Structure 1
């Protein structure tokens, strides 16, 4: 099942706490990972939604 959400959380290597990120449109976890890689230059270790 692919979840499409507007509010996501991610954690990068070396971080203890998750960072929130939100979008105007609902997107999947794969899209979030791709956008974060382009924005930050690294893959997040974890991506999840609540």
Structure 2
């Protein structure tokens, strides 16, 4: 959810690996709420 358009491919891979190694229900719920917020209230540079 964070930095989708501002991160490099390698940074995204590192974030994915970190998530896979340290995933928790709390993290998943946080991601869910951030996703809902991003979809319902997009920033000007994120709108399509």
TM class by smaller structure: under 0.3
Rg bigger for which structure? 2
- Which of structures 1 and 2 has the larger relative contact order (alpha carbons within 8 angstroms, sep 6+)? 2
Q: By percentage of residues, which structure has more helix?
A: 2
Q: By percentage of residues, which structure has more strand?
A: 1
What TM-score do you get using the length of structure 1 for normalisation?
0.27
What TM-score do you get using the length of structure 2 for normalisation?
0.28
